[in-house]
Amino acid sequence: MNRRNLIKLAGISIAAQLSNIKLARSMELYNQKQIIKPTALKEGDTVGIISPATAVTSPEDIEQATSVVKLMNLKPIFPKNFFSKEGYKTRSPKLRADDVNEMFANQDVKAIFCIRGGYGSGGILPFLDYKIIQNNPKIFVGYSDITAMHLAINKIAGLSTLHGAVLLSDFEGNTFDLLKKTLFTNEPLGVIANPTTNSIKNENQTRTIISGSARGQLFGGNLSLIVSLMGTKYEIDTDNKILFLEDVGEEPYRIDRMLTQLKLAGKFDNIAGLVFGKCQDCSQKSVPAIWDYSLAELLDFQLKDINKPVFYGLLIGHTSIQYPLPLNVEANLDADKMNLTIVESFCENS
């Protein structure tokens, strides 16, 4: 090899090394990215009501949603496309994303509430303006199908969001009070545990799967939606997280399939701990039966070897009582006491 080619190869090698160093540094900075917190609400604030998944058109549903907002002494407004008749239940992803971007860009809007979940929020992710979201941080609340937006907004915009009741939720028990405390103060939410009961049969029973305690940033959401985003740039990062999962109406074999996918993808390898929320209507329905494990047996089978504290049954999803869970805030998990303690505030001072 002549000297000129040798020098050329050396130059290429050095450039490649510098490129790798630059990439590694970029990833390091990304991993150290400071999470942005929204500002706490004050009475009289204006908040936006959006429907980024399934459309809501019933006047009674609209009235219920606005009533919940007004009970908090807040002023509700709707984005321009909310009442669009395009597609009725299947408004285009771009149209729904425009509503989200509009509410984040509106300086008068201090929080954004999803009226419901349903189906379709994953489709709007490419159309969200993450720079607008990042530059206009505000409270964003929802759950179920809205999990897709939580993953994207936290990961790309760096904004902490709230996994909590939508405006058409049941708001039973202390759901409303806990939600309001989370939104109006800069105090940590504290202990989250299912209510105790004097009845012989506890409908909200929790169960330790693996004993122990853990501390980490809280993150998670609807299992089906988390799995649906695997292999995309919105894929969940579970390292050192207290991971929470919830779902509804899924047979045990389907949950087994989704947990298997997460396990094969290494998503349980480096978690701090795991909470699996109470799964409503998640029993065997297929005739003849496809799978011979109950949900409880399945969870023991799938999670027994992850060697991290795990418990089941917290009321964090499709349940009448719904506990709000702020994403990317510090929390403690106690699998033996079967509770979470939120030790960091969701909101900054107003």
CB-neighbour burial class of residue 284 (10 A; exposed 0-12, middle 13-18, buried 19+): middle
Q: How many CB atoms lie within 10 A of CB 202?
A: 13
SS (H, E, C) 112-180: EEECCCCCCHHHHHHHCCHHHHHHCCCEEEECHHHHHHHHHHHHHHCECCEECCCCCCCCCCCHHHHHH
Write out the catalytic residue numbers. Answer: 144, 246, 318
Whether the upstream peptide bond of residue 52 has omega within 30° of 0, thus cis, is no
Q: How far is residue 241's CA from residue 254's CA, in Å, rounded to a whole number?
A: 24
Q: Could you tell me the two tokens for 205?
A: 């029973």
Q: Could you tell me the two tokens for 260?
A: 């298997």
Q: Please report, to the nearest 10 degrees, the dihedral formed by the alpha carbons of residues 74, 133, 155, 55 taken in order.
A: 60
